[in-house]
Amino acid sequence: MTSKPIKRWLGGVQAHATIYEDVLVPGAKILAIGDAEQSHVNLIDPEQIFYEYLARIANHLNVLRPGTAPLKFLHLGAGALTLARWGALRYPNSTHVAVDIERELLDFVQTHLPLPEECRLRTLVADARAVLHDELSGELYDVIVVDIFSGPEAPEHLTTPEYYGELNNSLAPDGLLFVNIGDDPPLAFTDRQVSAAQTAFGHVLLSSTPEMFTRRFPGNLILTASKDRIEDSVIQACQAAGPFPSAVKHSLDLDRFGKP
Which ranges of 128-260 would DSSP assign to H, the alpha helix?
130-133, 161-169, 188-200, 232-240, 251-257
Supply the pLDDT for residue 153: 76
73 in a domain, yes or no?
Answer: yes
Smallest CA-to-CA distance from 31 within 83, 85, 79 is with: 79
Residue type, 112: H
Query: In this predicted structure, what is the pLDDT of residue 249?
Result: 95
Note whether residue 58 is domain-resident.
yes
Is 3 domain-assigned? Answer: no
CATH number of the domain bearing residue 76:
3.40.50.150
Let me know if residue 8 belongs to a domain: no
The confidence score (pLDDT) of residue 22 equals 93
Residue 206's pLDDT is 97
**Residue 31 lies inside a defined structural domain of this protein:** no
Q: How many domains does the chain have?
A: 1
Any domain includes 21: no
What residue ranges of the chain have pLDDT lower than 70?
1-2, 149-150, 259-260
Q: Which pLDDT does position 236 carry in this prediction? A: 96
Report yes or no on 29 lying in a domain: no
State which residues form the domain around 238. 49-257
**pLDDT at residue 182 in the model:** 93
Residue 205 lies in a domain: yes
CA distance 114 to 134: 28
